[in-house]
Amino acid sequence: MYFAMMGSCVTLFVLAWAVVRIWSVPVAVGMCVVAMVIPPFAAIVANRRGPEDRWWDDPSGDPRSDEWWDELDGKRRRPDGRQ
């Protein structure tokens, strides 16, 4: 999805100034404004996490921090470090 959005952004810029400007500069500028809005949405789509991603449950690697977060979450850790 990201590559399609960015591809359409580049296509809009190229078409606006290579083809459309010959007939209408205001339309070419409008196409560039639309192309300007696409990259932030493409970044949002690319960085989105799925519902199955449970990144907040991953241990950080710092035992003291993990114990603190487990205490806050109401979890108990076994002596070997696993839940």
In the block, tokens 């205490």 appear at 71
pTM of the model: 0.57
Burial class of 50 by CB neighbour count within 10 A (0 to 12, 13 to 18, 19+) = exposed
Among candidate residues 39, 33, 37, 31, the one with its CA nearest the CA of residue 2:
39
More confident residue, 61 or 26: 26
* Boundaries of every domain in the chain: 1-47
| pLDDT at residue 79 tops 70 | no
Cα 25 from Cα 33, distance rounded (Å): 12
Q: Token digits for 7?
A: 């591809």
16-52 per-position pLDDT tens digit: 999 998 999 999 999 999 999 999 999 998 888 776 6
